[in-house]
Amino acid sequence: MSEFRPSLMHFFNSFKESLFLGNPRWTPAEIPCLKDKVIIVTGGNSGIGYDTVKALLEHEATVYIVSRNESKALPVIDELEKETGKRALYIQAELSDLSSVKRAAEQFLRGIVYPFATTPEGNDLIFETNVTGHFYFTTLLLPLLLSTAKTAAPGTVRIINVSSSAHRLVPATNPLKLDAIQEGPLRDQVLRMYGYGFSKFCSNLYTNELARRYKDTNIVVMSVHPGCFHTSMTDHMPQTLANRMINKIIFIYSPDYKAYTQLWAGTAPEAGKLHGKYITPWNSVGNPRAETQDEGLMTELWTYLEGRVKAHELKQVEGA
């Protein structure tokens, strides 16, 4: 069983990256005017996503909220409009469902151009949402991003993927267990304990490979660890004694700060020079687990995700 546990060093570094940081030196008040900028925020209904959308609207960006539940999203958009005087746009998407992801990307492109569970296919829900769905969504939007980047000012076209210090908590050996994504005993053994951290480990791998492949295109790609805050997601953590103790210890920063790091990464002029970096609170370049920069693992995951997308698209064609 030791193979499936993070090392003490990785466990310690996960906490070190999120604690005892002092107050942030940068605030969203420093965001420049974002008029004529179009920004997509996945999961903007609550928590970090809500604060991110609010700050972007306050600085005149055109913001699309992508989330699964329209009945929850629309009241949030109304509330944001009351607070900011600006209205976000909504795109429905279930990021764990690739058909839904494709419909969402197509809807966006038309507009621009003028808990421990599995998906119905039997894949891990958290992985599909945090990795496969975002990979496919980005892939579908890349032609537009590449076209925009040809004429945009340097460093202004950005892809910001939200990571977490939890990426450090995957097994110390053989961390990329892609066969654990499918429903079965291995998934129960590995992902029941480390599923969220595994998804963020893979998100870092994918983001680093994306950065490597598009380094000469004027698209800036970054991973961001926003810090540790109590959000609606933490309400769904198993209420074990250990988790209750961890909640008391690590959620120590003001919730006002929860969107600061990704807002800085997405808007600050100086962040436009940080292609391929892993950003941590507060607006620092961090050092993710070394394995997330392993080109062999990066390529392995990318190939797997490409295969998943191709299989999905072939299935859609055959079913048409």
Helices (H), 116-184: 125-127, 133-151
Can you give the pTM of this predicted structure?
A: 0.79
Active site residue 196: yes
Cis status of the peptide bond prior to 26, with omega within 30 of 0: no
Catalytic residue from among 196, 214, 257, 278: 196
Compare 255 and 47 and report the one with higher pLDDT: 47
Task: Please report the pLDDT score of residue 1 as a whole number.
Answer: 47
How far apart CA 33 and CA 19 sit, in angstroms, is 31
**241 band by pLDDT with thresholds 50, 70 and 90:** very low
**Residue 26 CB neighbours (<10 A):** 16
Task: Please report the pLDDT score of residue 18 as a whole number.
Answer: 67
Name which of 146-150, 151-155, 170-174 the model is least confident about: 170-174
Compare 42 and 23 and report the one with higher pLDDT: 42
Active site residue 163: yes
Query: Could you give phi then psi for residue 31, rounded to 5 degrees?
Result: -60, 130
Q: What is the pLDDT of residues 177-234, one digit of tens each?
A: 999 999 888 887 778 767 888 999 999 999 999 999 999 999 999 999 988 655 544 4
Name which of 32-36, 42-46, 184-188, 241-245 the model is least confident about: 241-245
- Mean local confidence (pLDDT), 89-109: 93
**114 pLDDT exceeds 50?**
no
Compare 88 and 2 and report the one with higher pLDDT: 88
Q: Name residue 183's amino acid.
A: E
Task: Please report the pLDDT score of residue 302 as a whole number.
Answer: 99
Structural domains of the chain sorted by starting position, each given as residue range(s) with its CATH number in brackets: 8-30+123-319 (3.40.50)
Task: Please report the pLDDT score of residue 250 as a whole number.
Answer: 52
Cis status of the peptide bond prior to 282, with omega within 30 of 0: yes
**242 band by pLDDT with thresholds 50, 70 and 90:** very low
**249 pLDDT exceeds 80?**
no
What is the average pLDDT value for the chain, to the nearest integer? 87
**89 pLDDT exceeds 60?**
yes
**246 band by pLDDT with thresholds 50, 70 and 90:** low
**31 pLDDT exceeds 90?**
yes
How far apart CA 226 and CA 48 sit, in angstroms, is 8
Task: Please report the pLDDT score of residue 186 as a whole number.
Answer: 86
**120 pLDDT exceeds 80?**
yes
Catalytic residue from among 37, 102, 177, 200: 200
How far apart CA 103 and CA 165 sit, in angstroms, is 31
Task: Please report the pLDDT score of residue 222 as a whole number.
Answer: 98
Task: Please report the pLDDT score of residue 24 as a whole number.
Answer: 84
Active site residue 37: no
**61 pLDDT exceeds 50?**
yes
Catalytic residue from among 18, 96, 163, 165: 163
